[in-house]
Structure 1
C-alpha cells in the first residue's frame, strides 16, 4: 500500500492570547482619546440646540403669518432649559399646542431678558427682542462651545460666540449656521 506523507496543517486565525492583547491595546488607545472628544461633543450639542431653537422660531413666524398672529413660544415650566412649546389660537379661540421641543439635560439655556414667552404678531414680528445663551452644563459664557443666539424683532437670527454681546451693528460671523 502506498503511503502519502502527512503534511502539517496550517493554522488560520488568531490565538486567544493575541486577540486579548489586541483588544487591550485598543481599549487603552480609546481611553486616551476619549477626553479629547469632549469639547467636540459639547460644541455639537450646543449647535444642535441652537439650530433647534432657530428652527422653532422660523416655524412660529410662518405660523404667525399664516394665521394672522396669536402665536407664542414659551418656556416649558418657565425654564428654557426644559425646552419650549409653540402655541397658537385655533378657529374656536382655544389655545392649541403646535410644537414641542425638549432641551438636552447636558445644556444650560438662559434668555437675556428673563422672559418666559415670546409673542409673534401677524407680520411675524417677535416681542420681546432678546437673545439666548446656550452653554454646556456647568460652564459659563466664556466656554469655547458657548453660543449666543441673537433674535431681532424682524426675526433675523444670528449665532455668536457666547462671550460676545448681541449688537445690531455686529456682522454675523456665521451667516449659514
Structure 2
C-alpha cells in the first residue's frame, strides 16, 4: 500500500522551520521598512526645498518652508511669505528624528537665495 500525504511529524517540522525563518526575517524587514521610510522622507524634503526655491524665483517673491509643529520629523509646509498661502504641505505617516541646524524655518528670497531665521545664510 502506497502512502499518501505527509505525517504529523513532517508537518510539524515544516511548520517549525517556517516559524523560525519568519522570526529571523522580521527584524530585517522592519529595518528595511524604516530605511525606506527615511529615504522617502529625505527625498520628499529635498524636493520640497527645490520646489520652494523654484517658486520663489519664478514668482519673484519670498517663500517659506516651515517644520510642522516646530519639528521637521512631523513634516513641513511650503508657503508664500506675504500672505501665508500654503503651496504644499507634507505630513509624514510616521514621525522621524530629523536634526536641523537652521531651526524650524527656511526662507528663500525672491532671487532664490536661502535665508535663515535672521535673513542671513
User: Which TM-score band applies after superposition, normalised by the shorter structure?
Assistant: 0.7 to 0.9
Q: Determine which structure has the larger helix proportion and give its number.
A: 2
1:34-86 deviations in whole A, cap 9, x for unaligned? 22344433332222211111011011111111111221000111121221000
Which structure has the larger Rg over C-alpha atoms? 1
State whether structure 2 residue 95 is matched by structure 1 residue 125. Answer: no
Q: Secondary structure at the match of 2:94?
A: coil
Cα distance change on mapping 1:65 and 1:19 into 2, 3 Å = farther
Q: Secondary structure at the match of 2:44?
A: helix
Q: Which residue of 1 aligns with 2:51?
A: 59
Q: Which residue of 1 aligns with 2:92?
A: 103
Aligned CA-pair RMSD: 2.8
Tell me the matched-pair count: 117
Q: Determine which structure has the larger strand proportion and give its number.
A: 1
Contact 1:81 1:104 in 2 (8 A): no
Give the TM-score normalised by the residue count of structure 1.
0.55
Q: CA deviation at 1:98?
A: 0.7
Q: Secondary structure at the match of 2:78?
A: strand
Cα distance change on mapping 1:105 and 1:16 into 2, 3 Å = farther
State whether structure 2 residue 21 is matched by structure 1 residue 32. Answer: no
Greater RCO structure (CA 8 Å; 6+ sep): 2
Deviates more, 1:18-27 or 1:42-51: 18-27
State whether structure 2 residue 70 is matched by structure 1 residue 81. Answer: no
1:101-145 deviations in whole A, cap 9, x for unaligned? 1135352112113x211111122111129xxxxxxxxxxxxxxxx
Q: CA deviation at 1:23?
A: 3.9
Q: Secondary structure at the match of 2:57?
A: helix
Contact 2:73 2:95 in 1 (8 A): no
